[in-house]
Amino acid sequence: MTSSDMNTEKDMIFKMQNQLAKWRVIKQKYTKTVLLLWLYIMIYVVLLSVYVYCKIKSNPSEINGITEYLNTKVVTNYSSIDFLNIIIMNVISTSSIILFSIIPIPYLYVLPALGTISTMGQLVGYVVYDKGLFEGLKLAITGILPHGIFEMTAYIIVLILAKKTNDISMNTLKRIWKRQQLNYKFIGSMLYDLLKSFVIYVLPVLIVAAIIESFITPIIIHVFM
């Protein structure tokens, strides 16, 4: 083995160690945030589903409006085409969160995510009312939970990235307001890292969620329902 080969091997080992160190830092820093966001989302979904269930039960005429709304939001017939559509729609939905975060208004980027999460809560409430408590919960667990876990995880990661983007945007606005010089190289580097994080961490999770929703969820529903 030549000295250049040894140097190349050392460089590769160093890069791998550096990546592992970065991953440990990310894991330590964001694990608590991810778990807290998951808890908040689950509480919100449960409360909203109970609200929708009670609303339909007290006024059955509400079901038509909710059904029409959900039909525009939820895919019910699954195929390879739907698989691609699901990925595209989820990428557009998560990207809209990032785009909203560029606007220098704190937490405005939460609105698109809230819309998607609300759809899940409304769907659970509707299904439980339509199928009955036991069958409805069983359908919600088998039909939503398997891919929903991955989708919500992707949205949580995007919200963390959006918070970073919004911080950059707010800081840039402050510097412009104070007529301070902008570090365009730093801003560009941060935005590049955010884009890379989206491709590395978010996109694979969305693809897994789409595979489950398109090809595995129908099988699970068929077996258990």
The gap from C-alpha 225 to its chain's centroid, in whole angstroms, comes to 27
CB count, 10 Å around CB of 198?
A: 19
Mean pLDDT of 45-64: 84
pLDDT tens sequence across 172-185: 888 888 777 777 77
d(CA 156, CA 159): 5
Q: Which domain holds residue 187?
A: 3-224
> Strand, helix or coil at 63?
helix
pLDDT score of 3: 56
pLDDT tens sequence across 118-138: 988 888 888 888 888 888 888
pLDDT score of 43: 94
d(CA 139, CA 74): 14
Tell the residue number behind the tokens 């160093």, with chain if given.
14
pLDDT tens sequence across 62-89: 666 656 555 555 544 444 558 888 899 9
d(CA 126, CA 92): 26
Tally the domains of the chain: 1
Mean pLDDT of 145-173: 89
Task: Say what the pTM is.
Answer: 0.76
pLDDT tens sequence across 12-45: 555 555 555 555 555 566 777 888 888 999 999 9
Mean pLDDT, all residues of the chain? 79
